[in-house]
Structure 1
Amino acid sequence: MPAAAPARVRERLAALASAGLDAPTFGLTALDLLRSSLPFTAACLATVDPATELVTGVVKADLTDENDDLWARHEYEVVDLYNSFDVFRRPGGVTTALAETDGDLSRLRRFDEFFSPVYGFGDELRFTAAADGAHWGFVALFRDDGRGFSPAEQEYAADVGRLFGRGMRAGLVAGAVADGPGGADGPAVLVVGRDGAVTHGGPGVAERLADLGGDTDGALPFPLLGLIRAARRYAAGHLVRLPRTRLRTRSGHWVVAHASPLAGPDGASGQVVVTIEEARPPEIVPLVTAAFGLTPRERDVVGLVLRGADTAEIARTLHLSAWTVQDHLKSVFAKVGVRSRRELTARVYFDQYAPRLQVGAGLTPSGWFAGTA
């Protein structure tokens, strides 16, 4: 193994994963630490929605953004020997390009058409970042020195992958919510042509894209590029359901983005329609409570708290004693960093729905607020 002691780096990664850092800060710092015990030329850390395993954000080391669309194409649209979905299910959640191709990288299209000619990479080690049985992202490490990643290095990557998973999960709920609404009201719809350019955009598109780190005239943010490419993969019959993902915006609000291929008179047009809309409480509560590291029983308790249930009602519903419910609440408060049920509600919703909760707007059967379109 490389010079820096892997055990010492692992200890530092464990501390970093518990530091409550936002995803970009954690990612850059963690990659810098890992490099000292597992050398690489370049790296990409990607967070994913654990429900769909689609990328929700990226952090790069010694890589630039100008090839993002090509990267998304090879990750989601091109049918290849393997991709991130496959790595999540590999033993230990880890593999390398050389291992997958028996040493012949020309068999892997993203190497043959992209990684080798553009970057000169000679191997990729990809490992899963998981925590408590859920996938929160993956890390791709690259080398261009002609030396592949050894089995021992793969084993080490699989081991620290759990620490990356904890840090990436915590990063999802780190950071303060910015002042202001943080985006447009109502859904924003845009149409992307075969060449990847935005051809049509409805009201609120510019605001939504800006809050996700992109714009209609420049490059779209990587999560949307991935959605678009995945929609084309769906159109080709290689995905079983339309792609969608939950995203936290720069202002700290939650949106849901989904993409659908548009069919022309000939049955295919290459166009994709992308819709970005405010996330409804049932869509984000499971994600946020999991990101705080709550146990399944603690999530049950929180779900009832968010519905306004008191301790006695929670105890009856979950067949627990009132004392046990209070113990669960104490643990939840400690993990979330709050002191009351009111603070818990605001923290889970990141103040996104707080004004409507404060005026007493209840949830309808659809999971949205009463009086809200």
Structure 2
Amino acid sequence: MKFNGNYQRVLVQIKRLCYSGLDDQQLRLEIISKLHPIMQSDLCCFQTVDPATGLITSNVRRGVHNHAVSDVEHIFLEHLYFEDYLPAYRRLMNSRFPVDRLSEATMGNTGQAYRHQMLYKPIGLNDEIRAVMYTGKNMWGTMVLAREKSTTPYSEQDAWLLAKLAPHIGTAFRTALQQQLASIEPTDTMQELDIPGLLIYNPIGYIESYTNAALLWLNELGELHPEWCRIELPVYITQVVSALKKSQSMQTENDFEIIPELARYGRSGRWITIKAYEMSADDDRNRKIGIILGPAVQRDLIKFQTTAYGLTPQENAVVHLVAKGNSSSEISSKLSISPYTVQEHLSNIFDKVGVRSRREVVKKIFLANLFQGEQS
């Protein structure tokens, strides 16, 4: 789809934000502010999710603020997210278009939709557009926008804009997580801790600082020249830096598709990702580039509360499969244990967590206090 001038301008602005090194909270606030002039919404919920389970890990909400919103938010978390939204997000992830519009899905009869009756009618809203933020086959975030009945429904152009942005926002969320992890210094071998490493690249053309973890990953990728920081930068570092600069230039449509990230095969047989992002600075002329090196395997977005409840490794595996919506028979098959053992594990989990149902255990472990301190 060919965007008009305003949409094209916002497309470029938000894509640049995705590689500006912002943390996920500030990034979401900036994106909302860029979208609002062209996609005016009365309510916006912009979430990060755990890619392993699809469960929400944080939320930024803007728009309607009253007691009714708090009430429907609880309904959303306890019921609709599992019954409607998470299955829908998974369908969108498997489709070629990660966005859907309520008005289009109901052929204009939005009031017929269950989520409209439960969520939007009580707070005077009507139409909705929702999107999945992803990288590859992993979901890293979601966005839900809603507006009043007196306004026009969300357009096809709105949907295409979010679809274009979705992989870049997903990449930004993943990078923000690794930025946090990269600040942790290893106290043991990289094979044991798998901590991402961080390089700081000066635009003049050299590496001005790096963490110990980064040096371990660089050595995993091959021999380093004695002057590797200034004279002989590894080619993969040069490539991701160049990709970031090209991506930010936005001179052609192909530039928009460039994501400053690549993967390489390490000495030990592991795949390692190298990605670049522009770091924040008061003076644009002195902006540095951050380069993250880390394992290319899926890792948890957050450490859930299972350790605090004293769950065994097998119980931990069971509760994560429950969170993904697996039945007892599916859990039995995936873990190669009997259905009786699955029920025994579930009984132990319920006792340790102090709940009586699967839904309650997922809510207590994964969603406890989710929205505290995030509203404004």
Q: Which TM class, normalised by the smaller chain length? A: 0.3 to 0.5
State the TM-score, normalized to the length of structure 1: 0.47
TM superposition score normalised by structure 2: 0.47
